[in-house]
């Protein structure tokens, strides 16, 4: 199965149309697909949020890098999120992260990890 593509959120700017409607500035999280893994199209800087929603168990998150122009890689592997923890990781350059198909790859060890991707 192919990776599950997440849709990034574009946050409201400093001068939104007022009044704000209910939920207009909410951040929506999506459960990780621990089997098929996740991805998002890289078309500009992103902030990846990962939240462990489990009450007692730690789970892990992995971000897959790609060799840069110096042939270096730097995967973030099995980053541990304790119960209730939230991780934030900014990717503002395609170099070293954007895969050949144009996507950023990430995954979690359990669906209790929730992802949100924010356009910066």
Question: What is the residue-wise DSSP string for 26-46?
Answer: PPPPEE--TTT-EEEE-SS-E
Q: Using 50, 70 and 90 to split pLDDT, how confident is the model at 1?
A: confident
Give me the mean pLDDT over the 16-22 stretch: 92
The C-alpha angle with vertex 30 and arms to 113 and 78, in degrees rounded to 5, equals 30
Question: Does a structural domain hold residue 73?
Answer: yes
Q: Using 50, 70 and 90 to split pLDDT, how confident is the model at 2?
A: very high
Question: Does a structural domain hold residue 37?
Answer: yes
Question: Does a structural domain hold residue 21?
Answer: no
User: Which domain does 104 fall in, by range?
Assistant: 4-9+29-119
Q: Using 50, 70 and 90 to split pLDDT, how confident is the model at 34?
A: very high
Domain count, the chain: 1
Question: Does a structural domain hold residue 59?
Answer: yes
Residue-level pLDDT at 70 = 86
Question: Does a structural domain hold residue 19?
Answer: no
Question: Does a structural domain hold residue 17?
Answer: no
pTM above 0.75, yes or no: yes
Question: Does a structural domain hold residue 108?
Answer: yes
**Residue 10: HSE in the Cβ half-sphere, 13 Å Cα cutoff:** 4
């Amino acid at each position: 199965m192919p990776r599950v593509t997440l849709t990034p959120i574009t946050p409201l700017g400093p001068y939104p149309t007022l009044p704000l409607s209910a939920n207009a500035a909410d951040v929506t999280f999506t459960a990780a697909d621990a089997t098929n893994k996740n991805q998002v199209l890289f078309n500009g800087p992103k902030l990846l949020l990962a939240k462990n929603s489990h009450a007692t168990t730690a789970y892990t998150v992995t971000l897959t890098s790609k060799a840069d122009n110096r042939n270096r890689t730097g995967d973030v592997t099995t980053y541990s999120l304790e119960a209730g923890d939230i991780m934030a990781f900014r990717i503002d350059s395609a170099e070293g992260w954007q895969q050949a198909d144009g996507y950023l790859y990430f995954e979690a060890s359990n669906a209790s990890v929730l992802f949100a991707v924010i356009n910066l």
